[in-house]
Structure 1
Amino acid sequence: MEMQEVNLADFAAAHADGVTVVDVREPFEYVEGHVPGARSVPLGQLAAVVGELAAVVGELPRSRPVYVICAGGGRSLSAAQFLARAGIDARSVAGGTGGWARSGRAVVTGADA
């Protein structure tokens, strides 16, 4: 499976439909502000989560896209490539959480998705 990169407008449309969003930033970054509904799975923990489809995120869906986001797009590209190799339809969000916030879209603070 091949990883895709999506722009913020396409991500916003998908987000409005309730897609799975995985935030691969470090916990302190996530707490400072994240996309509503995004689940925190730091990049360093992603392999363990995928390896056992662990309860950190619940089962990552294999039948629909998973949107991966970070601060600006670098870490999410790596994570989405990893997920794609694991058979997951992964899409990296170009511009990341920073771009999301700069575009005037809402962010949530705290540890809850």
Structure 2
Amino acid sequence: MPTLFERSTPNPAGYRDVAPKDVAAAISGARLVDVRDPAELRGELGHVAGIENVPLARLDDAAFSKDEPLVLVCRSGRRSAQAAAALSAAGFRCIMNMTGGMIAWNEAGLPVQR
């Protein structure tokens, strides 16, 4: 069975796009990283259970392996796409951006923690 990364859609910026429902179905198949500020995780959109919070401004300080699969999440997918492009440009090989961010996750009725 293909991995979450293999099933995701290639993006010209070097990372892959993945739908929230696919992330939810394969949640143990990648490290989930939310690039929003900590206060946003407690806000109305909440966050995915077990997510690691690494705000976009601190992404350079994070200790990620260049080979581990990472799914980046934010509010709408914009900041996480920016983070995904930066990590891909830095040589990370299994970077995914959750399209639509937590807005799309909530719209899909997936479980949220607040």
Scaled by the length of structure 1, the TM-score of the pair is: 0.78
Percent sequence identity over matched residues?
35
Q: Which amino acid aligns with 2:15?
A: M
Structure 1: unaligned runs, 5 residues or longer: 54-59
Equivalent position to 1:25, from 26, 31, 36: 36
Structure 2: unaligned runs, 5 residues or longer: 1-12
CA distance in 2, matches of 1:27, 1:9: 24
Cα offsets for 1:18-55 (capped at 9, x unmatched): 52000001111012210111111111111222xxx2xx
Residues paired across the two proteins, number: 99
Q: Which amino acid aligns with 1:10?
A: D
Equivalent position to 2:84, from 76, 80, 84: 80
CA distance in 2, matches of 1:61, 1:99: 27
The question of 1:100 aligning with 2:109 is answered no
User: What SS class does the counterpart of residue 65 from structure 2 fall into?
Assistant: coil
1:63 Cα offset (Å): 2.6
Deviates more, 1:32-41 or 1:5-14: 5-14
User: What SS class does the counterpart of residue 62 from structure 1 fall into?
Assistant: coil
* RMSD across aligned positions (CA): 1.7
User: What SS class does the counterpart of residue 32 from structure 2 fall into?
Assistant: strand
1:6 Cα offset (Å): 1.1
Runs of 4+ in 1 over 6 A off after TM superposition: none
Residues 71, 98 of structure 2: 8 Å contact kept: yes
Equivalent position to 1:4, from 4, 9, 16: 16
